[in-house]
Structure 1
Amino acid sequence: DPDKDSQDGYNSTLIPIDSGNNSSGGVVQDIMGHTLFLLMYALKTDNVTMVLDSCHSGGAKRGNFVVRSRSNSKKLQINPKEIEYQSQWLKRLNLSPQEFLRLRRQGVAKGVVIASAKREQLAVDASFDDFSAGAFTYLFTQYLWQQPQNQSVKRILVDVSRSTNIYSDRKGYDQIPELETNTKQPNPPLYFTPFNANYAEAVITKINGNQVELWLGGVDSESLEAFEKDAVFTVADGGGKGFVKLESRQGLVGKGTLINTTQLKPGTLLQERIRGISPNIKLNIGLDDTFDSNTLNQAKQAFQTINRVSALPLRQQEVQYIFGAMTSARYQELQKRRIPNLPPVGSFGLFLATLDEILPKSFGDSGETVTDAIKRLIPKFKSLLAARIVKQMLGNTNTSKIKVTASMNIAGSQKVISETFPVRGFKKQTDNQNTLVKPPVITENGIPKLPIGTQVAFELENQESVPLYVSILVIDAAGEMAVIFPNDWGVAEGATLLSAGEKRTIPSQNDGFKLTVGEPLGMTEALIIASTSPLRTSLKALQGIAKRGGKTRGPIAPNEDEFLDVTDKLLDDLDTATRGGLNVEGVNLPAGVRGVDTNKLAAMAIPFDVLG
């Protein structure tokens, strides 16, 4: 950029898909940011919104992700035709070069511009189960499907920044969306258009007899695998009547069958009613593409002996983690990024999906063989698989209509750190549906940052006229789980009971223990489960764990085998409750598939970042 609008002297560009790599430099066919400014400025309305899911130039590969950008931008030159095209627009708009420069440096041309990442950050193209999409584009789209009415653009950016930050943190990179406005209204509604709609997970796009095609734009990314087959949707405005049963899914396009309903029309919105959890959910582990052929073959052979864990090449489908080696280059790069507790060079362990972060407590010694490393990690794989199953069960936290609220507070005070509730259970939606109050702690992109040693408590309130059965699980940055509630292991079924209208603080003053934030550092998530049916088998399993550990009260941390068993038992409980209410509605789940009914389950999540 000859005008040097930014300190680094570069102007961001859009790269045509057929432009090639141009690694040797020279003139390129890019569309300059200056040109985009002029095109927006020329519009006859101020009511324009531009969404850019793109990023600065960087490496084309980041672990299992693709970064759609170009390297070696220092050698690239502006096409003279681009400069001429800008000159033509300046004449049309009666703008002098000096005025053009002033307006650019003042801000965006007009309207609203939402960028998926900061100038120095990456915006990745991510694998979601069996398809790829811009990570921000998917999360932004899914968020909008959960909005029954338009909200202010600043409110939306806060919410989408939170979900983007959580997603990118789990994958091992930083991506924080940004907003710029140049409007008469200080905080306009998104796309400048008011609307009222139903919450939705899907929409009917085609109908042929009783066969329908769906687009699943409102399904949470972590729950997609639960919508392969046998999931059930209900018509959004049909009062819970009229069902569509999913028969198959490719990407976000599903095919289904109408059940107990009259002919529907394309454009009908659908809400999740039952998700179908496969008994064969696997943990997908990517294999480091810097391995030599001998190491790669040894790793493949070792993984073949592990049940429900798949070893996959990178950048072909979604992986949860990458099994790799700590090389000298990676060690130096992670040191620059101030990643704590780095393992020795030459050791094997698990990286997050970008290879830019490590999974805590997963690396061994530098002399360990690849086969021994994989054997050592088998308990960790079980723990990570259990966490993945939990996310499949509870991923779409917006879909329940049960009236229950949960908050995490500073212990011994009324200071609320974060509060959450199933928005569909409450008739009125506020502009602050996920974070109801300004938290008394430091937050970034809506996520509380809690130093080690912070004492917290949870407050639950059942606003239903029937009792609820509640559990609170916490999954830390290492993928390990603790059970915060129930915590009285001498009580039978009543240990999880929250009576109608009851409000309870966990732990209470009489519980004899405190909840204190501890290591590992990084993103931790509290998952609150509220069911209208007893959680008998999972409670029994937890009581057995407490008994073996000699505990009568307080939180417990199951080991890896126990964690997976408790997860399966919890899923059995939810499946039993689901099947018990299906007979009268004429929807049948096949044997082997475990169902989770949104009419009987509320799932809520409170993420927080643990600081050293």
Structure 2
Amino acid sequence: MKRRTFLQRIGSILAVLGVTEAEWLTLSDRYSQALAQPSTRKLALLIGVNQYRKSPSLSGCLTDVELQKELLIHRFGFQSSDILTLTNEQATRKSIEAAFLAHLTQQAQADDVVVFHFSGYGTRIKSGKFVDTVQNALVTDHDRQESQDEKIVNTNYLLVETLELLGRSLPTERVIAVLDTSYHAPKTPQPPGWRIRARQELAEAHLATAELELLQQLKSKNTPANAGILLSATSDPQQLAREVLFSGFSAGLFTYALTQYLWETTSATTIQFSLSHVGSLMYKLGSQQQPGLISESKNQPGTVSIQNLLPNPQVGAEGVITAIEDDGKTADLWLGGIPPQVLEYYGANSRITLSTGEQLTLRSRAGLTAKAQISRVKAETPLQVGQLFWEKVRVLPRNLNLTVALDTGLERIERVDATSAFSGVAHISTFVAGEQPADCIFGKLQETPSRYGLFTPGGELIPNTAGEAGEAVKLAVQRLLPQLPTLLAAKLWRLTENEGSSRLPVKATLEIVNGLSSRVVMQRETTRTLNGEKLTSKLPLTALSNPTVPIGSKMQYKLQNKSDIPVYLMLLGLKNHRSAIAFYPWTSPEESTSADSKPVFQQVIIAPGQTVILPKSFTASEWMIPGPAYECEHQMILSIAPFKETLKSLETSKYPITDQRPFGALVNPLEIAQALLQDLHNNSTVKSDTSSNNSTDSYMLDVKSWASFNFDFQVD
């Protein structure tokens, strides 16, 4: 379509926006150079607003834009020139809508891929000055103006409905919008946790006239809906979208989880299946926030795959080379595909590999970027910007602490008392919330009189950690100390997760058993080991939120060893964020029933090419889900060698031999977690860097030697 013809067709919309033809042509020229290029093209408009003049600043929205841009360019083949970003003061309502028309509407053709992303505040706003209808809107704020009547605030908002209509008007069905925001701001004080992306608006606030007129213009066109989808940071209108704090940067919880998963996943997975993984990652980071999916397709949402929207022939990766230095011997890396809980502790001397065979060794890391040195140089294959890389050896520090943040809502004397009570406790570090990433938060419940308890980083009260009213701070800390080693143990075994990077071909499925049939609840598989045929197979649909398992259900894990060597299993877990549990591979009990008798455990072995059922294949007991309701998380670790140190630690603990259920309490979780990492270190047989003291200071884990999956579900 020629620009003049296009202008004539949308002239009324431009007039509403207040954009003159000269301004439009100037804006359009920036993005229309590629119109003559052949299809299929990939276009993106990325919006991020951290700075708000009359609201507290956000911290992670510009990081979100960077996360999306790096992903689209290096993982999904977008051209940098086809990605337009608007940030902070650039991101006014007028400029966003004009950019949508110029960069997306004018350029997009049938079968093109279009991506829109927004990170910033959301809110609920009246549709007009005298209208009671309230709608969801994105807050731009920078061209906010107040009328002479101070009771009326004329603010530039972008309605979500306007955005949806703009997306429907595009000539392609491959449209995906990502909104990392929420709309229902809480009216009451919130428990401690990450920043919230929702803003409460004045009752007198209403939309700008231009926005309402644009909405009516779009509605009048009666454009049929395309098959695009909208991904939301929350699945429930009352949920709050949050920002997560890492060392050196903040990011939207949803955006980071989504982009990290898309770096490592294969393109054949359905959007619904992908979001179930994203929701699981958000849960592990300490939030009940779950992603939402809105589809305009007439087909079932589960049929839309990443490949339909973001086609790319390449396999997943952990990151990309972004710059070359030192005559090709040193590279700058983007680590967008490393799991976030691992990234925080991804140590120097970790190794990555390229498709050409070169290996690079990490020398330093700052946030999402790192510097690496080439281990061996091939003159015929020099390093290149844009090369993807894959994890080979993961280096983790041995001496890790549980980080406890002290809520800023505590009085100064309360923080002093808490710091004193925590001081001297092994493996515990404390600081004021917001200074650095935290594993949990010590704070007060929003009650009168106050009670103290532990919260997840996302602000969720950890069950059974709240004390009585009037409890002294030091007594509260002493009461909570026995639970902290369990939280640290869970932190350690989560560092083993490598579903995306593992080279050990294994698959695990969690099922509910009903008579002779079974229903899949969750499924995990090492994606890096899949071949072309398997990539096109249909994966089971999974609920977007954490799946719910009814109390009294009979459960089982189905484990497949697709390798040509035996694989050994260890299954650990966490109940309600506070009680450690494990699967116990008991041998046949001895005749003795003495309370002092030590149980004897056996290694759980899966033979090459075989499938086993857990617990049925290894114990006489069945796995029945008990009540009352609780949250459950399992970490399943599979290794090419026996877990000698882990089983040794299990056998030295006092377990009642008469209570040989397949799943039960873990008495010494921290010791077990440390032994588990030591086993994986021993089984990796990686030669350490002679210039460092890796063997004593770090665990070195070869991705070929183990696979680790996380399963989380709600019992209700």
C-alpha displacement of 1:217 = 1.0
Aligned counterpart, 1:467: 566
Structure 2 letter corresponding to 1:372 = L
Gaps of 5+ in 2: 1-124, 590-598
Aligned counterpart, 2:59: none
For 1:183-222, list aligned pairs within 5 A.
190=306, 192-208=309-325, 209-222=328-341
C-alpha displacement of 1:197 = 0.6
Aligned counterpart, 1:604: 709
Question: 1:381–1:524: structure 2 CA closer, same or farther, 3 Å change rule?
Answer: same
Instruction: Verify: 1:347 aligned to 2:451, yes or no.
Output: yes
C-alpha displacement of 1:468 = 1.6
Question: 1:520–1:201: structure 2 CA closer, same or farther, 3 Å change rule?
Answer: farther
Aligned counterpart, 1:55: 182
Aligned counterpart, 1:256: 372
Aligned counterpart, 2:462: 359
SS class of match (1:198): coil
Question: 1:559–1:532: structure 2 CA closer, same or farther, 3 Å change rule?
Answer: closer
Question: 1:585–1:500: structure 2 CA closer, same or farther, 3 Å change rule?
Answer: farther
Out of 575, 578, 581, the position equivalent to 1:476 is 575
SS class of match (2:469): coil
CA contact (8 A) 1:157 1:177 kept: no
Question: 1:365–1:448: structure 2 CA closer, same or farther, 3 Å change rule?
Answer: same
Aligned counterpart, 2:46: none
Moved more, 196-205 or 309-318: 309-318
Structure 2 letter corresponding to 1:230 = N
For 1:342-421, list aligned pairs within 5 A.
346-355=450-459, 357-392=460-495, 394-410=496-512, 413-417=516-520, 418-421=522-525
SS class of match (1:603): strand
Question: 1:247–1:606: structure 2 CA closer, same or farther, 3 Å change rule?
Answer: same
Instruction: Verify: 1:160 aligned to 2:248, yes or no.
Output: no
SS class of match (1:173): coil
Question: 1:346–1:480: structure 2 CA closer, same or farther, 3 Å change rule?
Answer: same
CA contact (8 A) 1:158 1:446 kept: no
Structure 2 letter corresponding to 1:461 = Q
Question: 1:292–1:520: structure 2 CA closer, same or farther, 3 Å change rule?
Answer: farther
Write the distance in 2 (CA, Å) between the matches of 1:110 and 1:495: 50
Write the distance in 2 (CA, Å) between the matches of 1:429 and 1:485: 36
Write the distance in 2 (CA, Å) between the matches of 1:35 and 1:508: 54
CA contact (8 A) 2:320 2:387 kept: yes
Moved more, 580-589 or 510-519: 580-589
Question: 1:504–1:214: structure 2 CA closer, same or farther, 3 Å change rule?
Answer: same
Aligned counterpart, 1:281: 400
C-alpha displacement of 1:287 = 1.7
Alignment TM-score, normalising by the size of structure 2:
0.71
For 1:487-566, list aligned pairs within 5 A.
487-488=586-587, 495-508=603-616, 511-519=619-627, 521-545=629-653, 549-550=656-657, 553-555=660-662, 557=664, 562-566=668-672
Instruction: Verify: 1:448 aligned to 2:564, yes or no.
Output: no
CA contact (8 A) 1:468 1:531 kept: yes
Aligned counterpart, 1:123: 241
Question: 1:510–1:80: structure 2 CA closer, same or farther, 3 Å change rule?
Answer: closer
C-alpha displacement of 1:218 = 0.8
- RMSD of the TM alignment (CA)? 3.6
SS class of match (1:537): helix
Question: 1:452–1:160: structure 2 CA closer, same or farther, 3 Å change rule?
Answer: same
Write the distance in 1 (CA, Å) between the matches of 2:298 and 2:178: 16
Write the distance in 2 (CA, Å) between the matches of 1:532 and 1:68: 44
Question: 1:529–1:586: structure 2 CA closer, same or farther, 3 Å change rule?
Answer: farther
Percent identity reads 24
CA deviation string 1:224-246 (max 9, x = no partner): 123132221111x34xx321111
Aligned counterpart, 1:72: 201
CA deviation string 1:26-79 (max 9, x = no partner): 111333345535654665655433222121041597622112332124231223
C-alpha displacement of 1:565 = 0.7
CA contact (8 A) 1:169 1:523 kept: no
Question: 1:432–1:450: structure 2 CA closer, same or farther, 3 Å change rule?
Answer: farther
C-alpha displacement of 1:348 = 2.1
Instruction: Verify: 1:32 aligned to 2:159, yes or no.
Output: yes
Moved more, 467-476 or 191-200: 191-200
SS class of match (1:377): helix
Instruction: Verify: 1:322 aligned to 2:441, yes or no.
Output: yes
Aligned counterpart, 1:336: none
Aligned counterpart, 2:138: 14
Gaps of 5+ in 1: 330-344
CA contact (8 A) 1:150 1:194 kept: no
Write the distance in 2 (CA, Å) between the matches of 1:453 and 1:25: 56
Structure 2 letter corresponding to 1:544 = T
Alignment TM-score, normalising by the size of structure 1:
0.82
CA contact (8 A) 1:49 1:111 kept: yes
Question: 1:584–1:475: structure 2 CA closer, same or farther, 3 Å change rule?
Answer: same
CA contact (8 A) 1:198 1:269 kept: no
SS class of match (1:75): coil
Write the distance in 2 (CA, Å) between the matches of 1:519 and 1:140: 33
CA contact (8 A) 1:511 1:553 kept: no
CA deviation string 1:288-308 (max 9, x = no partner): 322222212111211222222
CA contact (8 A) 2:347 2:394 kept: no
Write the distance in 1 (CA, Å) between the matches of 2:389 and 2:192: 36
CA contact (8 A) 1:51 1:115 kept: yes
Write the distance in 2 (CA, Å) between the matches of 1:404 and 1:37: 41
Question: 1:25–1:123: structure 2 CA closer, same or farther, 3 Å change rule?
Answer: farther
Instruction: Verify: 1:572 aligned to 2:678, yes or no.
Output: yes
Aligned counterpart, 1:312: 431
Question: 1:463–1:304: structure 2 CA closer, same or farther, 3 Å change rule?
Answer: same
Question: 1:346–1:180: structure 2 CA closer, same or farther, 3 Å change rule?
Answer: same
C-alpha displacement of 1:182 = 5.8
Out of 127, 130, 141, the position equivalent to 2:259 is 141
CA contact (8 A) 2:197 2:240 kept: no
CA deviation string 1:258-282 (max 9, x = no partner): 1124322111111111111112322
SS class of match (1:518): coil
CA contact (8 A) 1:478 1:520 kept: no
- The number of equivalent residue pairs is 566
Question: 1:553–1:14: structure 2 CA closer, same or farther, 3 Å change rule?
Answer: closer
SS class of match (2:363): strand
Question: 1:514–1:57: structure 2 CA closer, same or farther, 3 Å change rule?
Answer: closer
C-alpha displacement of 1:180 = 2.8
Structure 1 letter corresponding to 2:683 = A
Structure 1 letter corresponding to 2:136 = S
CA contact (8 A) 1:408 1:458 kept: yes
Moved more, 281-290 or 373-382: 281-290
CA contact (8 A) 1:524 1:609 kept: yes
CA contact (8 A) 2:233 2:291 kept: yes
CA contact (8 A) 1:129 1:224 kept: no
CA deviation string 1:102-138 (max 9, x = no partner): 66xx8x6884333222444322122234421111111
